[in-house]
Amino acid sequence: MNVRTHWEKIYREKAPDAVSWYRPHLETSLEIIERTAPQRSASIIDVGGGESTLVDDLLARGYQNIAVLDVSQTAIDVTKKRLEAAAENVQWFATDVEKAELPRNAFDVWHDRAVFHFLTTTEERGAYVQQVAKSVKSGGHVLISTFGPDGPTKCSGLEVIRYDAESLHAEFGARFRLLDSVKELHETPFGTKQHFLYCLCRVE
Ligand SMILES: C[S@@+](CC[C@H](N)C(=O)[O-])C[C@H]1O[C@@H](n2cnc3c(N)ncnc32)[C@H](O)[C@@H]1O
């Protein structure tokens, strides 16, 4: 099953709050984004945004330049419907992050919660890092969240790679300066706990 088919099946079969990664609000991401890019004109892309409410919360805080990318059209349609008219103020990319035609030097913040850890080959991770390097401005920031060293080894039936701050930073290389890392114990809607790691890097 290819990436798109897999995720379309998940989102067609499950309600937004019935997936393990669901949180009503992505508080850790919001706090780091607001601290890193307080200016409301900042251009922010949520990569693999799925059906998460990060875009709703950024709009509610007055951010004006938001983009959401996800390989699942179903997830994007659910999010657009929830946002109603506000969806028109968001740029949408229904595509695979590795192949997306993203604008050059466009984003101040690249956010990814629980996508990068699905990239299990060197080629996939290399293509992802190239997309970040191309589309994030110099001086911009990259906030990536993956399962931590004690996190699960699979998510939604797919193998993942678990990271600590050092190994995650190493995937991105010297042009990315590691500024901060935060751990989070995420409680799934089923009451289980998952260790997440957030890494914030600045693009030099
Ligand atoms: C575990 S979910 C996380 C969703 C959201 N970031 C959150 O925290 O609620 C992973 C998301 O990444 C998307 N995804 C997975 N692989 C992708 C890829 N190669 N390109 C774009 N999106 C992808 C999936 O469709 C799904 O919405």
Is the pLDDT assigned to residue 1 strictly greater than 90? Answer: no
Shortest-distance Cα residue to atom 13 of ligand 1: 48
| CA separation for the pair 165, 167 (Å, rounded) | 6
Sequence-distant (6+) residues with CB within 8 A of 122 are none
The predicted model scores a pTM of: 0.98
How confident is the prediction for the chain on average, in pLDDT? 98
Instruction: Please give the biggest Cα pair distance in the chain.
Output: 42
Q: What is the pLDDT of residue 73?
A: 98
Shortest-distance Cα residue to atom 20 of ligand 1: 96
Residue that has been written with the tokens 């991770």 in this structure = 125
- Pairing outcome for strands 90-94 and 65-70: parallel
* 80 closest CA partner among 71, 88, 59: 88
Is the pLDDT assigned to residue 191 strictly greater than 80? Answer: yes
Mean pLDDT of all residues in 111-117: 98
At 153 the three-state DSSP class reads coil
Mean pLDDT of all residues in 140-150: 98
Q: What is the pLDDT of residue 28?
A: 98
Residue 96 CA: nearest ligand 1 atom is 20
Mean pLDDT of all residues in 97-121: 98
